Structure 1
Amino acid sequence: MATWKDLQLHLQTGKTVEQAERTLLEAEKRRWGDVLTHLISITQSLAERNLAFRGSSNTLHQQNNGNFLKEVELLAKFDRVMKQHIERVESGQFSHSSYLGNIIQNELVASISGKLMDTVATEIKQSKYYSVILDCTPDVSHQEQMSVIIRTVKMDKAPEIKEHFMGFLVTSETTGLGLSSLILKKLMELNIPFDDCRGQSYDNGANMKGRNKGVQARLLEKNPRALYVPCGAHSLNLVVSDAATASTDATSYFGNV
């Protein structure tokens, strides 16, 4: 009877072992939530400034451990949450990830990127009509990639022209068929209807502007309202390049004379 009465009292006052464990669990959840909030803020800060995350070392308080861990160390000097987290990491209290390694860094970047892309896609669909701007270039590893930009007019208090960079697409083949299929697949993944496209713009390459098998021709077959406009920046580059070549040739010729 005494044990039963004792349990009844603890249940009424919320002092059972289960309640105590639940309180500790909730406190631990809040702590990890605070840690992740800080790490996400660091990730956003580095990404906005296009700074590299990692160095040659993945250990705290090392000379070349990269910008991410250096930001964590700096924040720990003034912030209680990060200071306690680093103390627990260094004391070896974790039997699992401390959320400071390169894997979690990549996951944070991917999560933020996915959320941002969803927000941009929603804004594009709200504007309804859009144009696509494409360009292909190899990266340092000689892998051909296509940059995708979507241009919209946001109808707010005053119309605002906006351009959204949607990322790089790795291209396995640079034919008109391959590139057009790639961009259509990307729009489908973003749930952006290609029927609402009203313009397409890219360089003067045959695989892009070709009237029969180029990207513009294949996209026009899908949507006759997606009118093609040559990229002004590329045309200007060609003019400047030709002018510079002509100037060099003329200088060489008259110099010889």
Structure 2
Amino acid sequence: MEKYFKRKQTLKSEVTPLISSNKKKFLEFNVESLVADPGQGPKISNYDPNERDEVRRAYLQKGPCQPREHDFPQTYFGTSIRRFNADWFDEFEGFSNWKKKERLQTHVGNHDSAHNQARRKCKALMKQKQHIEVVFQKHSDQAKKDYRTHLTATIECIRFLLRQGLAFRGDDELHNSNNQGNFLELLDFLAQHNTEIDRVFKNTRGNLKLVAPKIQKDIVRAAASETTKVIIDDLGDDLFAVLVDEARDISVKEKMAVCLQYVNKEGIVMEQFLGLVHVSSTNALSLKVALESLLAKHSLSLARIRGQGYDGASNMQGEFNGLKSLILKENACAFYVHCFAHQLQLALVVAAKKQVEIV
């Protein structure tokens, strides 16, 4: 085994110099060092492959190599002596050994000849803006710009609906619907009053679904995350109170809503919505676990609570096993206050029952 490894190392040491020696060194491109006649300079293949188009372009920018003052040599063709005429530069490219001028036209050939193909490639090389890669890049940049315009319009409509607390979806969101719902109708209104947005919407590909319900929810979640972050930053390390209520939604799922009350740096009492949590049960222990989990998610703890505000239900303010009592066992400073909104509701219900017309 040792002998095998020694042989392997020997082979490696023998092969490595060969690899290094085979690695071709390319010339460094310097436009100032190029001579007008490509035949007098180094081969283009001697330059780095990534720079060869630039070298070709530099030669073309220098213009054609036409040594008009050169003394062209005479060549015998049978009994005749011929040589290149510098005046032909004005009409054709140079040559050295063709007998007749008409051969130049034969060389140029028809529109698909090698000469004309080379000429078209030269023109394409000089016009970088028309190069296929440039065209693709332009298309890509325009697609990115259109996507950003579409996304910005979508986000702005979502922000508006969130600020106003309005529903997004409509009962009938088909294209021929008279009312597609707040979100789609608002997007359509925005497009009608902004030509750029209208153009982008009309040119939208079929697989760009920035108006899909899933995308709406993703953006709403992102907005909620950013909003909550601002609230937590505003709270800082200060103490706070919690307002908690639970209710059953239309899908018969129990949800617990949590709000924070605190005094901000300007001395103003703030009441901010923190989150809505699904709970499997509405007993006090389940509510406490859900509350702790939500607070921990935002780096908050029960120890910083200085106030609790709930309704009068037994699972909330029960003397022994209510949510109030469970929190007080861990934090005696979490003073409880029966929620004034719920007290007002109870007072209104009692008062209404005394009025026959209202009942």
TM-score by length of 1: 0.80
**What is the distance in 1 between the residues matched to 2:355 and 2:199?**
65
* Corresponding position of 1:6: 56
Pick from 157, 169, 189 the counterpart of residue 74 of structure 1.
189
Once structures 1 and 2 are overlaid, which stretch shifts more, 108-117 or 37-46? 108-117
The one-letter amino acid of 2:294's match is K
Query: Which residue in 1 is equivalent to 2:228?
Result: 117
Shift of 1:14: 7.3
Give the secondary structure class of the aligned counterpart of 2:264.
strand
**C-alpha contact (below 8 Å) 1:208/1:215 kept by paired residues:** yes
**Aligned-pair distance for 1:161?**
0.7
Q: What does 1:1-257 correspond to in 2, within 5 Å?
A: 1=44, 3=53, 5-6=55-56, 18=133, 21-60=136-175, 62-89=177-204, 94=205, 96-125=207-236, 128-156=238-266, 159-245=267-353, 247=354
Distance, in Å, in 1 between the alignment partners of 2:218 and 2:301 is 29
Q: SS where residue 229 of structure 1 aligns?
A: strand
Single out whichever of 60-69 and 201-210 deviates more from structure 2: 60-69
With over 3 angstroms needed to count, the CA separation of the structure-2 counterparts of 1:11 and 1:111, relative to structure 1, is farther
Secondary structure at the residue paired with 1:36? helix
Instruction: Tell me the alpha carbon deviations over residues 84-130 of structure 1, each in whole angstroms, 9 at most, x when there is no partner.
Output: 122213xxxx252241222222222222122112222222225x111
Per the normalisation by structure 2, the TM-score is 0.59
Could you say which structure has the higher helix fraction? 1
Q: Deviations over 1:203-230 (max 9, x none)?
A: 2222111232211111122322212122
- Secondary structure, aligned partner of 2:201: helix
* Cα shift at 1:23: 4.3
Equivalent pairs counted in the alignment come to 241
1:239 positional shift = 3.8
Structure 2 regions of 5+ residues with no counterpart?
1-43, 45-51, 62-123
- SS in structure 2 at match of 1:82: helix
- What is the Cα deviation at residue 180 of structure 1? 0.9
Give the Cα–Cα distance (whole angstroms) in 2 for the partners of residues 219 and 81 of structure 1. 56
| Contact 1:199-1:227 within 8 A present in 2 as well | yes
Higher relative contact order (CA 8 A, sep 6+): 1
Segments of structure 1 that go 5 or more residues without pairing to the other structure are 250-257
The RMSD of aligned alpha carbons is 2.9
In the TM superposition, what whole-angstrom CA distance separates every residue of 1:158-196 from its partner, at most 9, and x where no partner exists? Answer: x11110112332221111111111111111112223322
Shift of 1:243: 4.7
Bigger Rg, structure 1 or 2: 2
1:71 counterpart SS class: helix
Instruction: Read off the aligned partner of 1:5 and give its amino acid letter.
Output: V
CA distance change for structure 1 residues 53 and 237 in 2, over 3 Å: closer, same or farther?
Answer: closer
Residues 234, 77 of structure 1: alpha-carbon distance in 2 compared, 3 angstrom cutoff: closer
Per the alignment, residue 252 of structure 1 pairs with none
Mapped contact 1:201–1:231 kept (Cα < 8 A): yes
